[in-house]
């Protein structure tokens, strides 16, 4: 069972309603969901949806979606935290670049180094060469990345990349998102060439013949045409980034000028 409470939302334009749905039974009893309804009856389930619909007519920067109130202190804290991060980076601070993959750390089943203590002068510490060269990995760990999406500062989900047609998945649950995560992880974590699964047997029984050092895709070849296409995409992306940085710099300069003029006027 659920209990619904619908009230007016004074923080939004006239006619907007806030609905709070409280669960009365089940494992999630006591929890609530918040929705908003426009004067025309359109339902909104998240702040990004609300922001896209209202556009520039209402500033939702300090709007709290859960309570339905404007929270100026929350916006100020976010600005201070962003300013602190920028200052720390400007002073030589390092950003948080922790890109550890969600791979399960399994207990080692290999033999541990053993020292045999006797009076013989030729005794040595024996080690397992296989353990030193290769660590155990969980098969198909890329499936743990399924359903994870990146979002921008407005909590809007970003569009994923389009993979070339020549890349084909191998293994269970071979979706494009899983394949993209596997290739990106291999490029980032390994310095070895990325060739895909070169063994034909891996397609028939990947649980046995899978090469864990390569992503879950069939063997592929990179041609000169592919390289030229990627170079063009990189050039276009750099141009877009340059234009965005210039626009941001001009906007910041204009904002600083307005603040100085307002200070002189006061």
DSSP state of 161: P
pLDDT at 61: 79
DSSP state of 23: E
Higher pLDDT, 10 or 175: 10
Q: What is the reported pTM?
A: 0.38
pLDDT at 35: 92
First-to-final CA distance of the chain: 58
Domain borders along the chain are 6-70, 141-204, 223-265
pLDDT at 59: 82
Architecture of domain 6-70: 2-Layer Sandwich (3.30)
Average pLDDT score over residue span 121-130: 58
CB 221 within 8 A of CB 240: no
pLDDT at 260: 80
Model confidence at 256, pLDDT cuts 50, 70, 90, reads confident
Burial 84-103 (b: 16+ CB within 10 A, else e): eeeeeeeeeeeeeeeeeeee
DSSP state of 261: H
Tokens representing residue 76 in the block: 């100020």
| Of 101-110, 167-176, 248-257, the least confident | 101-110
CB 80 within 8 A of CB 96: no
Q: List pLDDT tens digits, range 21-36.
A: 888 777 777 788 899 9
Average pLDDT score over residue span 53-74: 82
Average pLDDT score over residue span 231-245: 93
pLDDT at 114: 61
pLDDT at 98: 57
102 vs 105: CA distance, rounded Å? 9
User: Apex CA 166: angle with CA 163 and CA 170, to 5°?
Assistant: 85
pLDDT at 242: 93
pLDDT at 244: 92
Nearest residue to 68 (alpha-carbon basis) of 19, 4, 11: 11
Nearest residue to 148 (alpha-carbon basis) of 160, 139, 140, 137: 160
DSSP letters, 73-104, are HHHHHHHHHHHHHHHHHHTTPPP---------
Question: CB under 8 Å to 31, separation ≥6 — which residues?
Answer: 22, 23
């Amino acid at each position: 069972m659920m209990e619904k409470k619908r009230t007016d939302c004074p923080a939004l334009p006239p006619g907007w309603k806030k609905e709070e749905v409280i669960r009365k039974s089940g494992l999630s009893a006591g929890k609530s969901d918040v929705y908003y309804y426009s004067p025309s009856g359109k339902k909104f389930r998240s702040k990004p949806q609300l922001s896209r619909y209202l556009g520039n007519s209402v500033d939702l920067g300090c709007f709290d979606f859960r309570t339905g109130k404007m929270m100026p202190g929350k916006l100020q804290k976010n600005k201070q935290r962003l300013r602190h991060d920028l200052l720390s980076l400007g002073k030589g601070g390092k950003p948080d670049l922790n890109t550890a993959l969600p791979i399960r750390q399994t207990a080692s089943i290999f033999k541990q180094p053993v020292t045999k203590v006797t009076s013989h002068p030729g005794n040595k510490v024996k080690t397992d060469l296989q353990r030193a060269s290769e660590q155990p990995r969980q098969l198909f760990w890329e499936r743990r990345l399924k359903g994870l999406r990146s979002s921008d500062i407005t909590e809007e989900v970003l569009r994923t990349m389009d993979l070339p047609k020549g890349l084909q998945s191998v293994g269970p649950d071979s979706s494009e998102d899983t394949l993209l995560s596997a290739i990106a992880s291999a490029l980032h974590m390994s310095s070895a060439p990325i060739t895909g699964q070169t063994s034909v047997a891996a397609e028939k029984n990947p649980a046995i013949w899978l090469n864990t050092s390569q992503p879950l895709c069939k063997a592929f070849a990179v041609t000169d045409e592919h390289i030229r296409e990627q170079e063009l995409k990189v050039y276009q992306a750099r141009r877009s980034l340059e234009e965005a940085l210039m626009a941001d710099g001009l906007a910041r300069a204009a904002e600083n000028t307005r603040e100085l003029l307002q200070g002189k006027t006061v």
